[in-house]
Every structure is written in C-alpha cells, then in structure tokens.
Amino acid sequence: MENNVLIEIRDLKQYFNIKSGIFARNNQTIKAVDGVSFVINKGETLGLVGESGSGKTTLGRTVLHLYKPTSGNIFFKGEEITSSNYRNYYKSMQIIFQDPYASLNPRMTVGDIVGEALDIHKLYSTKEERREKVINLLKLVGLNEEHSQRYPHEFSGGQRQRVGIARALAVSPEFIVCDEAVSALDVSIQAQIINMLIEMQNTLKLTYLFIAHDLAIVRQISTKIAVMYLGNVVELSKSEDLYTNPLHPYTKSLISAIPISEPKLAKSKKRIILKGEIPSPINPPSGCKFRTRCPIATDICAKEVPTFREISNGHFCACHLV
C-alpha cells in the first residue's frame, strides 16, 4: 500500500436482515453495500454519487464503523480497522450529517455542542482553554463568539450546518465523511459551504468522502468520483475524466440530467431518461443490476455480473459493453 493512501476499502459489504410477513417469520437480506473497493489518498476528495437507495450513506457510515461491516476490509493509513481496534481511530475520522436540523441537540448551546468532543477526548486542561478552542472553531466556520451562547433553533439552516462542521473539526480529524452535507440547504448557501470546505481542506490538510446525488455540486469539490448503483460502484475515475468521457450508461444518464444555464446549449443537449424505478435491494436483477433500466442492455447483461475493471489509466467501469 502506498504511503500516500489514507483510506482503502476492499470488497466491503453491508447487509441488513429484515423480517417480513404477517408473523415476521420470513428473513430477507438487503444488500445495501455489495462488494465495494476504492482508495482515497491524503488530501483528496472522493465524490460518491447515485440515486437515493444506491447505498451511498450506508457506505459512508460503514467506513466510519457506525455500522459494523458484514465483510470486507477497511484500512486507515495502512492499518486495518475493520475489527476491534477501530475505536482508536474515532478521533481521526468524523462525519458531517445531512440534516443540520436533526443532527444538533436542541437543548444544548452551540458552545456546548462544539465543545462536547473536546470534553469526550479531554483536549483541554482549563475551562479558559476550552472556551478559546470553541471560539476559534466557530470563527473558522464563519461564526463568532456571541453565537456560542445561542441554541440551534436561533440559526438558519446554513448556520446550523456550519456548527455541524465546527463540531466535526473539534478533534482535528484527518478524514471527514460529508454525508449529503449541502443537499438540505438553499443553492446560494450550498456554494458558500462548498467553498468553505475546499478552503479548510487546503489549510487543514483534510481528506473527504463527499456523498451527494447532485453531480454539479460533486464536480466542484471532488478529485475523483465514484458512481454507485444498487450497492455497487459502477464507475470510478478522476473528476474531469468522468464528466468529459463517461463510460457506463448509468453515469451518462446522470450527467445528461445536469442543468445547463446556456439556453442554446441546453436545447442541443440530449437527455437520457431511464425507464422505471431503481429495483429493490432485497431482490436485485440477475447479472448486471442496471440492466432492467439500461437502454443498451443485451443477453449477456442478464446472465453475467460485469467485472469492475480498469478501462484506461485510472478509469474503472463495470459494464459488459464498454
């Protein structure tokens, strides 16, 4: 493993058993993440995109061990953290949640929300030092000292998300999972938060796994992009390469849906509309999971699972027809 690699995932699987039927006797398995592998180098941002239900959030939370992996391996700086020693790395790995309304305790002041991580990890020696650290963290995300005495309900959505980011930064992590961190915010606020995340990445040497369903936003921040469909990564490449040369039919469809502000270009752009809904992860299609919605599927797609392979330098794809 290269010294520059911060996170490596090998064949990670996250299955959930659910009981169904009138008497809940029938066990069924949801394959939320079904054999995913990737590498994130230090200082990089891996964008993770796909429709709702593709397994993006589950993957992010499994990497952080918020869900215990069903199987596979997770490495942090070359050290395997899949089993019991993952607790030693909690301080180095943090998450920014999607909903800034639900992820903050309404009964705690902002100062206590940000300072809670400092308390847990004992990162100060005096109350004055704790107070200074909290104020510095708030300033880092564009808030001020006076905000530390307020409660979450007194803030706008964008400000609450800034509090969530300050909380994640409190323990000086190296790796942050941004789980749909801007999707609940207004478009103008989204741009501010994205710019702030990029700036902090450069100054604090952070590495991100940036989960989103909006490819336009992912393009702004990501070094590499992985496209997920029904628990699998179907395409992975450098950010610009994915946009200029998408290989998988699913990726092409997602990119065709990105709005274009220039009217003439928008008219000439052909939208690829997928038929049907994303299948149930309880009973996915045989062979290629995307075949039931794919406009170019052939017989082999129903019979064989496509291999996730390198098509060109650093550009991976799982499709029989590429």
Instruction: Supply 45's token pair.
Output: 């941002």
**Alpha-carbon distance 42 to 3, whole Å?**
9
pLDDT band at 20 (very low <50, low <70, confident <90, very high): low
pLDDT confidence bin for 266, thresholds 50/70/90: low
pLDDT, residue 283, reads 87
| Cβ-based neighbours of 136, under 8 Å, separated by 6 or more | none
d(CA 287, CA 299): 10
Q: In what order do the strands lie in the sheet with 224-229?
A: 93-96, 175-179, 207-211, 45-49, 224-229, 232-238, 315-317, 309-312
What is the pLDDT at residue 272? 79
pLDDT digits (tens, 9 = 90+) for 24-33: 667 788 999 9
Q: Would you tell me how many other CB atoms lie within 10 Å of the CB of residue 135?
A: 18
Q: Compute the distance between CA of residue 98 and CA of residue 46 in angstroms, rounded to an integer.
A: 17
Average pLDDT over residues 279-283: 86
- pTM score above 0.85: yes
Q: What is the pLDDT of residue 24?
A: 60
With cut-offs at 50, 70 and 90, classify the pLDDT of residue 4: very high
**pLDDT in the model for residue 1:** 46
Which pair of structure tokens corresponds to residue 227?
Answer: 């496209």
pLDDT grade for 23, boundaries at 50, 70 and 90: low
The pLDDT value recorded for residue 3 is 72
Relative to beta strand 45-49, strand 224-229 is parallel
List 1's β-bridge partners, or say none.
none
Kindly write down the DSSP assignment for every residue of 75-114, as one continuous string. Answer: EETTEE-SSGGGGGGGGGEEEE-S-TTTSS-TTS-HHHHH
Return the closest-CA partner of residue 239 out of 222, 227, 255, 214.
Answer: 222
The side-by-side arrangement of strands in the sheet containing 71-76 is: 26-41, 5-20, 71-76, 79-80
Tokens of 220: 């702004």
Q: Measure the CA angle with vertex 14, ends 12 and 16; round to 5°.
A: 165
CA distance 195 to 248: 29
Which is higher by pLDDT, 277 or 129?
A: 129
- Indicate the average pLDDT of the chain: 90
Per-residue buried b or exposed e for 202-229, using 16+ beta carbons within 10 Å of the residue's own CB = eeeebbbbbbbbbbebbbbbbbbbbbbb
Rounded Cα distance between 226 and 25, Å, is 37
User: Lowest-pLDDT range, 79-83, 264-268, 306-310?
Assistant: 264-268
**Start-to-end CA span in the chain (Å):** 29
R_g of the chain computed on alpha carbons:
21
